[in-house]
A and B are shown apart, each in its own frame.
Chain A
Amino acid sequence: MALLDVRGLRVEFASRSGPLAAVEGLDLAVAPGETLALVGESGSGKSVASMAVMGLLPATARVSGQALFEGEDLIAMPPAELRRRRGSGIAMVFQEPMTSLNPVLTIGRQLIEALPRVERASRAAARGRAAELLASVGITAPESRLDEFPHQLSGGMRQRVMIAIALAGRPRLIIADEPTTALDVTVQAQIVALLQSLQRDTGIAILLISHDLALVRQMAGRVAVMYAGRKVEEAAAAALFDRPGHPYSAGLIAAIPRLGGGREARLAEIPGAAPSLAERGPGCNFAPRCPMAAEVCATPPPATGIACHFRTEAAA
Chain B
Amino acid sequence: MLGYALRRVAASVPVAFCVALFVFALLYLAPGDPAALMAGDAASPADIEKLRAALGLDRPFLTRFVEWLWRILHGDLGTSVFTGIPVATLIGQRVLATFSLMIVALLIASGIGVPMGALAAYRPGGAADRAVMVGGVLGFSVPVFVTGYLLSYIFAYRLGWFAVQGFVSPFADFGGFLRTILLPAASLAGAYAALIARITRATMLDVLAQDHVRTARAKGLGEARVVIVHGLSNAAAPILTVMGMGAAVLLGGAVVTETVFGIPGLGRLTVDAVLRRDYPVIQGVTLFLAFIFVAVNLGVDLLCAAIDPRVRQ
Contacts and interface: CB of A to CB of B under 8 A. Distances in A.
A133 to B, nearest CB: 13
A91 B221 CA distance: 12
A54 B212 CA distance: 15
Given A54-B218, A88-B220, A99 B310 contact: no
B241 interface: no
A56 B216 CA distance: 11
Interface in B203-232: 210-212, 214-222, 225, 229-230
A102 B309 CA distance: 11
A83 B215 contact: no
A104 B231 CA distance: 10
B289 to A, nearest CB: 32
A176 to B, nearest CB: 12
Nearest to B236: A104
A105 interface: yes
Q: How large is the interface on B (under 10, 10 to 19, 20 to 34, 35 or more residues)?
A: 20 to 34
Nearest to B213: A102
A96 interface: yes
B220 A104 contact: no
A103 interface: yes
Contacts of B215: 92, 94, 100-102, 162, 165
B218 A103 contact: no
B276 to A, nearest CB: 51
A103 B212 contact: yes
A84 interface: yes
A173 to B, nearest CB: 12
B220 A149 contact: no
Interface in A162-211: 162, 165, 168-169
A289 interface: no
Contacts of A224: none
B212 A102 contact: yes
A103 B211 contact: no
Given A104-B308, A105-B233, A56 B211 contact: no
Interface in A79-103: 83-88, 91-92, 94, 96, 99-103
Interface string A128-168: 00000000000000000000010100000000001001001
A165 B309 contact: no
Contacts of A56: 214, 217-218
B211 A151 contact: no
B218 A102 contact: no
Nearest to B210: A99
A113 interface: yes
Contact of B220 (A84, A99, A162): A84
A88 B220 CA distance: 8
Given A99-B210, A99-B212, A104 B309 contact: yes
Interface string A52-91: 0010100000000000000000000000000111111001
A114 interface: yes
A113 B219 contact: yes
Contact of A100 (B211, B308, B309): B211
Contacts of A92: 215, 218
A91 B219 CA distance: 7
A102 B219 contact: no
B18 interface: no
Interface centre among B212, B222, B234, B308 (most CB of A within 10 A): B212
B214 A165 contact: no
A315 to B, nearest CB: 35
A4 to B, nearest CB: 15
9 contacts: A56-B218, A84-B220, A87-B220, A91-B219, A100-B215, A103-B310, A104-B307, A149-B309, A169-B220
Interface of B: 210-212, 214-222, 225, 229-230, 233-234, 236, 307-310
Interface of A: 54, 56, 83-88, 91-92, 94, 96, 99-105, 113-114, 149, 151, 162, 165, 168-169
Given A101-B215, A104-B307, A105-B233, 10 more contacts: A85-B220, A86-B219, A87-B220, A88-B220, A94-B214, A102-B233, A103-B212, A149-B309, A168-B219, A169-B220
